[in-house]
Each structure stands twice: as C-alpha cells, then as structure tokens.
Structure 1
Amino acid sequence: MRYGFAIDQTTCIGCHACTVACKTEHQVPVGQFRTWVKYVDQGTFPHNTRDFGVMRCNHCTDAPCVTICPTQALFQRDDGIVDFDRDRCIGCKSCMQGCPYDAIYIDEETHTAAKCNFCAHRIDGDLEPACVVVCPTHSIWVGDLDDPSSGISRLVSSRPTQVRSPEQNTGPNVFYLGAERAVLDPLAAPADSGYLYSRPDRHRADVARDMATDPVTKARTTLNTAHPRPWGWRVTTYLWAKGVGGGAVLLAALALLVGVDLGVLTTLVAPALGVLGTAATGGLLVWDLKRPDRFWYILTKSNPRSWLVLGAYALAAFAAVSGVWLLYGIALETGLLAASPVAWTVLAVLGIPTGLMVAGYTAFLFGQAEGRDLWQSPLLFWHLVVQAVMVGAGALAVAALVAGTDAAGAALIVRALVVATVVHVAMLLVEYLGRHATRAAATAAHMVTHGRYARLFWTAGVALALLGALVALPSWGGGLLALAALGGLVVQVALLAYESVFVRAGQDVPLS
C-alpha cells in the first residue's frame, strides 16, 4: 500500500481553499503552512500567464527526512504516509535540511517540526484529507498508488505526470498533471520584487537577485511562503570549534608517532583544546535546538541511521580520549606518574581515528541533508580534516609562543599550518570553480564566487587564509614563533568567514 496525491493543475483555480482547510484542521500558526499555493507569472502584459502549484510534503518512498531525523520523530507508516511525532522532536531542524521540497517547518507554538501528514488521523477514520474535501474543482486526488483499480492510479496511469525534483531520487508520491515547469522548478522562477498581496520575505528577495531570469519566459514567482535558513551562526561556529579540537589532537598524536617532542603542548595543550572544542561543540549544538530540554533524546530515542546520532557518538568518543589524555598529562606534569611510551602510543593510536571522525563526520551529516546540493561534495570529509589541521595547528602555534616548544616541535606545527592552509585554499578553488553535479549546486557556488558572498569569500575566506600561511612561512624552520602565532590567529578568522559562507550559501538555493 502506498498512499499518494495527484494534483491536477489544469483545473486548479488558485483559490487557497486547501491551504485554509489544512490550517484549520491542524491549527497551523499564522504565517506557517503545511500546504500552500505558489503563483508563477510568465511573459509580459498583455501576453502574460499565471500558473498555480499546490506545494506540500511529497511523502517520499525514500524519505530523507526520516533518515536524518535523530530521534525517529519522523517516520514512515506501513501505508507510505510520512508522519511525525512531535513528542519525540528535539527541534534540531535537520529534517528541514534533508527535505528537498521545503515541506517542513518549525511550529512557532510547539517548537517542533511539522508538515503535511496526509491528515493521517482522517485516513485512519476512512475519511479523505481536509484539502481534498474542500477543493471546489476536484483538483486534488488521493488514494493507494499501488492499487491499479483506485481512482488515483487510473488517473496517473492515463495522463502525463510530473514530480518535483526528480533528480533527488527520493521517490516522491505527489504527482502533478499539467503543471508548468516554472512552477515545479524553483530555479526557473526567481521571486519577483513584489508579490500579489505582499512582498517576498527579505531572504527570498536577496537570493533572487543572484538568480537568472529566463529571458524568453520571464518567469517569476509572484506568491510563495517564507522559508528562512534553518541553521545559522551556531552551526558555523560549531564547525570551527570541533575543527580546532580535532586538529590539535591529530597533530599531537602524529608528533608522538613520529617521535617529535612538543613538550607541554602534547601533555596539556592539545588534549585541553580537544576537551574545550568538544564542550563548545556540544554546547552550540544543544543551544541551536528548538527543544534543548530534550537534547538527551539523541541518546535515548536514537535513530541509528542519522549522522546527528552517529556524530554524537563520535564527539563522545573523542571527548573520552581527550579527557583521559589530559588527565594523564596533568599527572605527568605534576609528577604523580612517570611517562610511559606504551601509554603515549595507545593515546596517539586512539587520538588519530577519533580526531579524524570528530573533524570530518559533519560531511556525512551534510550528505544526509539532501535538500542542500552544495553540501554533497565527495571531498567534504577530507576538506574538513584539512581545515581541522589548519586551525588546530594555528591554535598550537599560538600556544607555543606562550608555553614554548623546541625547534623540531615548532617546525612540525608551522609546516602543518602552512601546508594545510594551502591545501584548504586549493580545495576551495577546485570545489567552487570546477563543474557541479546539479544546477542547485552550481547556483549556490555562483552566489559564493560571483554573487552575494563573493567579497567575503575571496577576501576573508581565501586571501586571509593565504595571508595567514604567508605570515607563518618564515617560521618554517621552527623559529620566529611570534609570526607563526600571528598566522595561526589569522587562519582562525579565515575559516570562520568561509564556514559562514558555506553554511549560508548551501541553504540559500530555493527548494519550492
């Protein structure tokens, strides 16, 4: 059994009865929508047209929101309906990133995720969804798509249909009949400067300036809903914080394995950065939840497929290794224990895989955010590791100026800083100036390199990073630690600037 919708846009009159019925049935707050009608105008008066599109959850066969949800608050029923349990939701907003259709929002009253749930309570009572009942032109069809005798199956099989974002391979179960491409493709019709009854929200209006309008159709969206970015500066800062901690421990572990003595940087500073970076990361992640009082649901109501859950395990493992390392270092520095080569080897061997995972696991989390094509790069894991080495080495360079280390240790830190920074910038150029797998990724990359983020990207993200490496370069042999420390500080700012661009631009491409 597989429930689905079929929407006949050739008979839809754009009356919004479905929107009002949905809001009434589910008590949806003002300004938020589970179902809404999008307007797209094409052409120039008097030869212009207006088309409608009913937007909602697509109840995907392979639903990304279900996979990424860390607490199984979103789930797929046996009849194919993708439903949600607000009592399990922690408000992490990852489902909003996973959905390629802008179908999920955070309810302003409950602070939990919500969306069209096919009026599952009505379906269970052998009733049709509210939107179907009120549609005056019978433009919305529902039923079992797996039943060839059902009305919706006969309709879909007898007429040409389209789905939204088929390239995402989610198996959407909302089929459109007679819909204009510009209505279904969010990149084909940028938001107009003014809507019919209002103005577009500032975010959509700003993004539209970086999107090309088709010179032939002149398609533009003249009515739509607001979809603000789910993730902001806390996620940007979390990427940097765990990078500093993971990179510092990785570098200290490498030094141990190659026999380079970093002195107090190994015993205290690197593991302390690991502990502090993990604590800051956890704090930022909990702070970013809309229901922070439920943060522990990640561990007690876990979805083992979600990289938000697996990432929490990676953070916990890294925190444990860093914490034990720090306690051992304190015991050595205070004379409570004597140094043991075996103990250092064990810590180094544990520090490398946990450091790699804490630095790079976000690549897999972002990979599950299937609505954000910019974040789907196969290089992202390794790029995050390179970034971690860059800022981790930068932090150790600052610490070396204060705490001191020998020339060999300083040289290792500086060389890691310079090389990682150069590789980071090279990867940026490859990522943003090369070819992109989808139009959405190309659109986001254009915003970064030539659009609204270009100045910040090129000056702070690229030029400032190279400046940090250049400033630290004279310390290559282990001397002039003041320059290395200055370079180490500069790359922290450069990475924060870049992560701000990366996180925002990935969310700026419209999905509906």
Structure 2
Amino acid sequence: MTVCPEDAIIAGDMENPETEISGTISGQEVQARKPEKGTEPNLFYVEGDESSITPESTDRGEHYMWSDAPNQVETRGAAREDFDLERAAQSLAESDVSLSNSDRSMIEPKADGGERPGRKEGCGCDSCDCDEGSDRVASDGGARSGTSADVGSSRTERAYELLQTEAKRVYDVAENHRTSWGWEVYSYTWTKSISAGVFLLPVLLMLTGLIEPSLDLIGASATVSAAFLGLTGVLLILDLDRPGRFHWVLLRPNWKSWLVRGAYIITAYGGYLGLVVVGWLLGVDAVVHPTSLVAGGALAAATAVYTAFLFSQSKGRDLWQSPAMPLHMFVQAVVAGAAATALMGLIGIGTFVGPSRLLLAAGLVVHLALIGSEILTPHQTEDAEEAAARIVRGEFSTAFWIGGIALGIAVPLILIAISGTGPVVAAAGIAALAGLFAFEYCWITAPQTISLA
C-alpha cells in the first residue's frame, strides 16, 4: 500500500517481518507516544524526540507554517495560556528520550549572544555524570544556582536548547479532536446514574428490612428506572458516528470493549425492568422475592459502574485512570437514586422520604470525598494534573465550583439539615441532580481538552 511517495510515512503489516515497516522499526531508533500506557502502539516515529511528539513541549503561537492558528486551540476561544518553556524543558529532561547530538561542540551560542556549555566531547549517553546535578536554566538563557557551574551541559540545558531553537509548532489538530465525547456522553452517564440508583436504593432498603417489601413501590421504581434507561439508550445511539448501525454493537461484539459489555449489561437490565413492570401490573408477588431483588440489584449496580471501566480503556486520558472511579460511579448512582426517590415522595410515595434524606446526605459526603481524592490531590502525570487544574481553576472552574460543589453538594446538605419534610428533601434532590450533571460535564470534558497529538 502506497501512502506517501517519498516514504515520509510508511504503512504496512508490522506482524510480517518481510514488510518495509517491520524492517524500519527493527533497524532504526523509533519512539512511540506514551509507551508506558501499554496500548500496543501502531504509530512509531523514526528518531523522534519529545519536542516533536508531545503537544505540551512546543509553544502555541499565533501562526502556523501556512496559516493563522485558530483561536480555539485548547481554550475554546479564551486567551491562550503562556507557554512555560522551563517546565517543558524539565519534563523533556526527565524523560527517557535521547537528547545527545554528536555534532554539537563543547561551547554553543545562546539566544542572547552569550555562550552555553555543550555536551561533553564524545558523550552520547543519557545517564552518565554529565546529566547529574544539573543546573536549571532561566528564561533569559542564564543558569540558575546548581551544584557546580563547571558541570558539562545537562539534560535540562540540552532540552532547553532543543525547545528554544529547534522545536516549532507548524500545525495543530487539537481543535478538531477536542471533544470526541460530547454532551451525549455526560448526559447519558447522568441519566444512567438515575436509572440505576432509583431502582437500586428501594431494592437495598427492602433487602435490609428498612422498608417492607412492596409490589407497588418496586413497580413504580422500575417504571421510573426504565424511562431513564430508555433515555440513556437514545443518548448512546446518538453518540455513535453511524447511529443506524447501533445494533452491530450487539450483533458483532468485540468482547474486549467495555462499550460492548456495557451494552449487554444495559440490555439485560432493561429486560429485567420490563419483566418487573409487567409483573407489577399483573400483581405477581414473585417480583419482590429476595432472589428477584438480588438479581435486579446486581444488574442496577453493574449498570452504574461499568462506565468506569469504559473510561479507563481510554488510556490517553490520564485523569480517567483513577482506581476510585468504579466506587465513584456507584456513589453517584446512590446520590441520583436518593434524589429521584425523594422526588417520588411528591407524588404520594412518602415511604421513600426518610430513607432518601439519609442516603442522599451520606452519598453527597462520600461524593465530595471522592472528588477530593480524584481532582484536588496531586497526580502522577502532567496530563492528569493539567486536566484537574482546568477543572479547579481553569475553563471549567465555574461549572465545577458553582454547579458541582455549591449547588450540587453544599445546598442539598444545608436543605437536608434544615428540614426532613417531603418538599424540602425533594428540593435537595433537585439541587443534587443539577450538581451531579455539572460534575459529569467537567469530569468528562476537561480531560479531552488535553492535546494528544
């Protein structure tokens, strides 16, 4: 297959040792993007370096090689963030990328006309003493205090030179790939939480003996759950590039994908809810038998948490790799379910008001603690740290603090503390649902604003 007449791009079967691409990969130094993710990359850069494949390593200027840069690169039209050259150089220096260049002399010119030490003569390694105890380089090209002014050119200095003089962004596709998962996804995670929680909570209350098993209660909960599950399915189909082929997910499944597994979980849950509603209408008491309730509770819990594993398969989005996400998805379902059952109290199902109040308060406290652990604590990678920063103090800070925290957590807790009456608990539930939607928007959208290419 010919994809580039000049062979700047080579495509082929990497499993076949006779192909040109296999020979290129085995015979030359190549680098892959984020190999630590273990994603079996299928794109390799010959003699690549960090400044050419990591988006954060180059400045986002006003102009590209052939055009003006779009004003929505990474910031949706807001002012561009200043490029932190020192931070980029330090990140590059700490990577395992080779920064050696045998053609450079001991002393090299700096941008300000002075001289900067080069790498040691004949040194092509990345881990010898010339890389130890390095000086940090200031933005004016001068050296900050280090262990010794006589130490040869450090990795940080070499990285600084590469980024300052050799790496220049000439094209950017970030604005075209910013939100692969848009409003349909954070809306569907919200409706799915309601669907799972509004059925799961009555089941748990009945199984634990906190409320008496009731065919009418379980039937009403199943009806509300089925309605939100149907809306979830519509949103899932809308999110597909080819909605008309949505049935292929079930008929041509890729069992390694949690999208497929989730589709089967939702289908099974929907079928169960349908049976419960029919049984309720026919007065079949077996619907509230403990075995039936356990099966329904398991399907509801699986529906609530499977999305966490779907997000974790998106290895390029570091903030979604939190090990606490399955628990957080379950807690969000508890919050959504408590809010929904509290609202059901307004239509005469007063049995839910007291338990909903307690479960909503407990769920919100745990939800806040998990937000703190996933967003407000230090992260292991720069991409995760940057995504969290954009939520807490960047583009998404208003939705996060006002919507997700103030309206979604503080207001409901205050209302619950003030009164336990049906209308007040229902108002707390409405605020909690609105805040949960705001949080889902921030959590799902912010990591996608980090450039991958």
Q: What SS does the aligned partner of 2:350 have?
A: coil
Aligned to 1:400: 345
Aligned to 1:172: 41
Alignment check: 8 A CA contact 1:248 1:274 kept? yes
Show the counterpart of 2:362: 419
Task: Verify the 8 A CA contact 1:163 1:175 in the aligned structure 2.
Answer: yes
Shift in CA distance, 435/359, structure 1 to aligned 2, threshold 3 Å: same
Residues 1:389 and 2:389 are matched in the alignment: no
Kindly provide the amino acid, as one letter, of the partner of residue 182 in structure 2: G
| Structure 1 partner of 2:103 | none
Change (3 A) 1:185 1:397: same
- Cα displacement (A) at 1:159: 4.8
Displacement after TM superposition at 1:376 (Å): 1.6
1:241 and 2:199 aligned: no
Give the drift of 1:372: 1.8
Instruction: Kindly name which structure, 1 or 2, has the bigger radius of gyration based on alpha carbons.
Output: 2
Separation in 1, partners of 2:216, 2:368: 27
Aligned-pair CA distance for 1:326: 2.2
TM superposition outliers: structure 1 runs of 4+ over 4 Å: 138-159, 262-265
Greater CA drift, 224-233 or 442-451: 224-233
Closer, same or farther: CA 145–491 of 1 in aligned 2, 3 Å: closer
Cα deviation for residue 202 of structure 1 reads 4.6
| Match of residue 404 from structure 2 | 461
Which AA in structure 1 matches 2:257? S
Superposed, 1:309-348 pairs within 5 Å as 309-332=260-283, 337=284, 339=285, 343-348=288-293
- Please name the residue that 1:501 is paired with: 442
Residue 50 of structure 1: aligned partner: none
Q: 1:425 to 1:209 in 2, by over 3 A?
A: farther
Shift of 1:188: 1.5
Q: Which residue number in structure 2 is paired with residue 473 of structure 1?
A: 417
1:222 is aligned to 2:170? yes
Counterpart residue number, 1:184: 53
Residue 314 of structure 2 corresponds to which residue in structure 1?
Answer: 369
Q: Deviations over 1:7-65 (max 9, x none)?
A: xxxxxxxxxxxxxxxxxxxxxxxxxxxxxxxxxxxxxxxxxxxxxxxxxxxxxxxxxxx
TM superposition shift of 1:199: 3.3
Choose between structure 1 and 2 for higher RCO, CA contacts under 8 A separated by at least 6 residues: 1
* In structure 2, distance between residues paired with 1:437 and 1:211: 23
Cα distance between partner residues in 2 of 1:159 and 1:290: 37
Question: Is contact 2:229-2:270 (8 Å) kept?
Answer: yes
The residue identity in structure 1 corresponding to 2:228 is G
Deviation, 1:284, is 0.9
What secondary structure does 2:378 align onto? coil
| Cα distance change, pair 325–213 in 1 and its aligned pair in 2 (3 A) | same
Check the 8 A contact 1:397/1:410 in 2, yes or no.
yes
Task: Give 2:169's aligned amino acid.
Answer: T
Cα 1:381–1:155, aligned 2, differ >3 Å: closer, same or farther? closer
Task: Indicate if the aligned counterparts of 1:447 and 1:453 stay in contact, CA closer than 8 A.
Answer: yes
Question: CA–CA distance in 2 between the matches of 1:150 and 1:283?
Answer: 44
Report deviation, 1:228: 3.6
Alpha-carbon distance in 1 for matches of 2:244, 2:19: 45
2:84 paired residue number: 213
Contact 1:372/1:506 (<8 A) preserved: yes
- Cα gap change, 1:414 to 1:183, in 2 (>3 Å): same
Kindly, what percent of the aligned residue pairs are identical? 31
Equivalent pair of 2:178/2:451 in contact (CA under 8 Å): no
Partners of 1:271 and 1:147 in 2: how far apart?
54
Structure 1 position 402, deviation (Å): 2.3
Partner-residue secondary structure (3-state), 1:195 = coil
Structure 1 Cα separation of the partners of residues 310 and 364 of structure 2 = 24
Bigger shift: residues 266-275 or 379-388 = 266-275
**Alpha-carbon distance in structure 2 between the residues aligned to 1:141 and 1:248:** 53
Change beyond 3 A, Cα 1:349–1:171? closer
Q: Deviations over 1:329-353 (max 9, x none)?
A: 3334xxxx5x45x843133111211
Query: Against the structure 1 CA distance between its residues 145 and 434, is the aligned structure 2 distance closer, same or farther, given a 3 Å change threshold?
Result: same
| Secondary structure of the structure 1 residue equivalent to 2:170 | strand
Q: 1:497 and 1:146, CA in 2 relative to 1: closer, same or farther beyond 3 A?
A: closer
TM-score, normalised via structure 1 length: 0.67
- 1:343-354 residue pairs with structure 2 within 5 A? 343-354=288-299
Bigger proportion of residues as strand: 1
Tell me the amino acid that sits aligned with residue 171 of structure 2. Answer: L
1:415-458 deviations in Å (ceiling 9; x for gaps): 11111011111101110112323222222111111211112111
1:266 to 207, 217, 235: 217
Aligned to 1:360: 305
Counterpart for residue 149 of structure 2: none
Distance 1:186-1:271 versus aligned 2 partners, 3 A rule: same
CA contact (8 A) 1:252 1:265 kept: no
**Partner residue of 2:3 out of 130, 140, 145:** 130
Q: Return the alpha-carbon distance in structure 2 between the equivalents of residues 280 and 152 of structure 1.
A: 46
Name the counterpart of 1:483: 424
Match of 1:63 in 2: none
Structure 2: runs of 5+ lacking an equivalent: 87-159
The one-letter code of the counterpart of 1:468 is P
Q: Are positions 1:254 and 2:195 aligned together?
A: no
Q: Distance in 1 between matches of 2:271 and 2:80?
A: 47
Aligned residues: 370
Tell me how far apart the structure 2 counterparts of residues 205 and 170 of structure 1 sit (CA, whole Å).
25
Contact 2:39-2:315 at 8 Å conserved across structures: no
The 2-side partners of 1:285 and 1:146 are apart by 35
Contact 1:432 1:445 in 2 (8 A): yes
Contact (CA 8 Å) 2:412, 2:429: kept in 1 or not? yes
**How far did 1:511 drift?**
0.5
Q: Going by fraction, where is helix more abundant, 1 or 2?
A: 2
Q: Cα 1:210–1:166, aligned 2, differ >3 Å: closer, same or farther?
A: farther
Say if 2:363 is the partner of 1:410.
Answer: no
CA distance in 1, matches of 2:215, 2:21: 70
Question: CA, structure 1 residues 362+235, in 2 after alignment: closer, same or farther (shift >3 Å)?
Answer: same
Q: Does the 8 A contact of 2:28 with 2:47 survive in 1?
A: no
How far apart in 2 are the matches of 1:488 and 1:192? 46
CA apart distance, 1:183? 1.1
